[in-house]
């Protein structure tokens, strides 16, 4: 097990890719009130920068994708109510919708949730199951009806201690067994303030690219760590800038086809009040939603923000 511990928490290797210059930032809303789910707090650029649109010839071509990450929340009673709300919600047809319940409730959700919404796990083991106490194998997830798994979430990286290479291996195994992967990337606040946003995201992308057999069933979720569960959301321009850079990285380091087809979704304090403006951005192909996904009507509003994308187009 000592070898496993080293693998999980070992130092991250430096990226070999050069990042474009990143402008400095300053906080405009230091007195953020996280109790108001629709409050609009942002980190903004301290100086303007030229848009990156010119470096790439295409935006995403995949269908809008919205995932709900329920994290370590819910009881049988509250989840029954949430399922009822989701089953009665009117959802736009041209959106892929996924929810990720806690492991112990996946079977309950799968047996009672509309087939319109697919099921994701929040994590999976790096290889076939066996003597790995507390872990869940890809094979077990498939057995109970999961179609997706979230890997590389910041809480797994920065709380549990999973490193880039370990996460890449988990993604490769999940894909090899037929699970889709929601591959999370994103920077800490201090990394953003130091101008390292692109460096961090490129390093995390490289670990996925070095490991995965194909990008056909991968959705990339850009989730700036400073925006997750804080009530502080990236401005539409900030999110768009990183999404463009991620797509450009895929074009230059994987292929133009993968860059075009791979959906890049945004996560970090997305709610019913800010989703429409975010959805209008050309390279935001959907959302990975945390707290707001625990509220059926609000989650439906986020799913249906695809209409804003259509108007913007």
Q: Is 153 a catalytic residue?
A: yes
pLDDT of residue 224: 97
Catalytic residue among 155, 187, 191, 223: 223
pLDDT of residue 58: 55
Q: Which long-range contacts (CB under 8 A, 24 or more apart) does 272-276 make?
A: 272/37, 272/38, 272/298, 272/301, 272/302, 273/37, 273/38, 273/40, 274/38, 274/40, 274/233, 275/301, 275/302, 275/305, 275/308, 276/305, 276/308
Beta-carbon neighbour count of residue 265 at 10 Å?
27
pLDDT of residue 241: 97
In this structure, are strands 43-45 and 25-27 parallel, antiparallel, or unpaired? antiparallel
pLDDT of residue 61: 82
- pLDDT (tens, 9 = 90+) of the chain, 313 residues, equals 333 333 333 333 333 333 333 333 333 333 333 344 454 455 543 333 334 444 443 578 899 999 999 999 999 999 999 999 999 999 999 999 999 999 999 999 999 999 999 999 999 999 999 999 999 999 999 999 999 999 999 999 999 999 999 999 999 999 999 999 999 999 999 999 999 999 999 999 999 999 999 999 999 999 999 999 888 889 999 999 999 999 999 999 999 999 999 999 999 999 999 999 999 999 999 999 999 999 999 999 999 999 998 887 7
Report the alpha-carbon distance of residue 252 to residue 157 in Å, rounded. Answer: 26
Whether the Cβ atoms of residue 303 and residue 289 lie closer than 8 Å to each other: no
pLDDT of residue 115: 97
pLDDT of residue 311: 85
pLDDT of residue 3: 38
pTM of the model: 0.84
Catalytic residue among 153, 162, 191, 241: 153
Report the alpha-carbon distance of residue 28 to residue 31 in Å, rounded. Answer: 9
Spatial CA neighbour of 221 closest among 254, 264, 166: 264
Report the alpha-carbon distance of residue 242 to residue 168 in Å, rounded. Answer: 21
């Amino acid at each position: 097990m000592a070898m496993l511990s080293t693998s999980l928490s070992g130092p991250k290797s430096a990226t070999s890719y050069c990042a474009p210059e990143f402008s400095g930032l300053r906080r405009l809303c230091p007195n953020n009130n996280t109790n108001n789910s629709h409050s609009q707090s942002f980190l903004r650029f301290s100086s303007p920068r030229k848009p990156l649109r010119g470096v790439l010839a295409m935006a995403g071509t995949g269908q809008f994708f919205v995932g709900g990450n329920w994290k370590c929340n819910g009881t049988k009673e509250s989840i029954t109510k949430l399922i009822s709300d989701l089953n009665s919600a009117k959802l736009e047809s041209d959106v892929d919708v996924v929810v990720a319940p806690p492991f112990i409730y996946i079977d309950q959700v799968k047996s009672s949730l509309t087939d319109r919404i697919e099921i994701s796990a929040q994590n999976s083991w790096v290889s076939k199951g066996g003597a790995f106490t507390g872990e869940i194998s890809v094979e077990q997830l498939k057995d109970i009806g999961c179609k997706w798994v979230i890997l590389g979430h910041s809480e797994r990286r920065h709380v549990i201690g999973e490193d880039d290479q370990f996460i890449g291996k988990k993604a490769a195994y999940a894909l090899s067994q037929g699970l889709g992967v929601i591959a999370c990337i994103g920077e800490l606040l201090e990394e953003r303030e130091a101008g390292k946003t692109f460096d961090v995201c490129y390093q995390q992308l490289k670990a996925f690219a070095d490991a995965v057999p194909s990008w056909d069933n991968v959705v990339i979720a850009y989730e700036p760590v400073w925006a997750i569960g804080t009530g502080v959301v990236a401005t539409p321009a900030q999110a768009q800038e990183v999404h463009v850079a991620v797509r450009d990285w895929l074009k230059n380091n994987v292929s133009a086809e993968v860059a075009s087809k791979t959906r890049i979704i945004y996560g970090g304090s997305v709610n019913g009040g800010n989703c429409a403006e975010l959805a209008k951005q050309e390279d935001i192909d959907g959302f990975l939603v945390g707290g707001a996904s625990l509220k059926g009507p609000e989650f439906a509003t986020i799913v249906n923000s695809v209409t804003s994308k259509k108007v913007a187009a």
